[in-house]
Amino acid sequence: MAVDPKSLLCNCHGVMHGTVQRVIDKHECKTVADVTRLCRAGAGCRSCHVEIDELLTLAAAKRGGFWRRLLRRFRS
């Protein structure tokens, strides 16, 4: 499902989807803590952690390796 990059992902800190996606891609973040350190998303109530985690999983799958194999297993 495509998400509007200008939509708000983290309400607590006003961080957009596109910002989180760029941070994940540029720095190859592996954890929510990595994302939080770089752009503050997830540093408040933590309700956005699930969404950040989904973006991390998708990015890892695109990069390949362990996550790609894991996702393939769940999709088959």
By the criterion CB under 6 A, which residues form the site for ligand FES?
10-12, 41-48
33 vs 70 by CB, closer to ligand FES: 33
CB of 49 to ligand FES, least distance (A): 7
CB of 71 to ligand FES, least distance (A): 25
Pairing mode of beta strands 15-16, 8-10: antiparallel
33 vs 45 by CB, closer to ligand FES: 45
What is the rounded distance in angstroms from the CA atom of residue 27 to the CA atom of residue 65? 17
What is the rounded distance in angstroms from the CA atom of residue 6 to the CA atom of residue 72? 30
Dihedral sign for Cα atoms in the order 25, 26, 31, 34: negative
16 vs 60 by CB, closer to ligand FES: 16
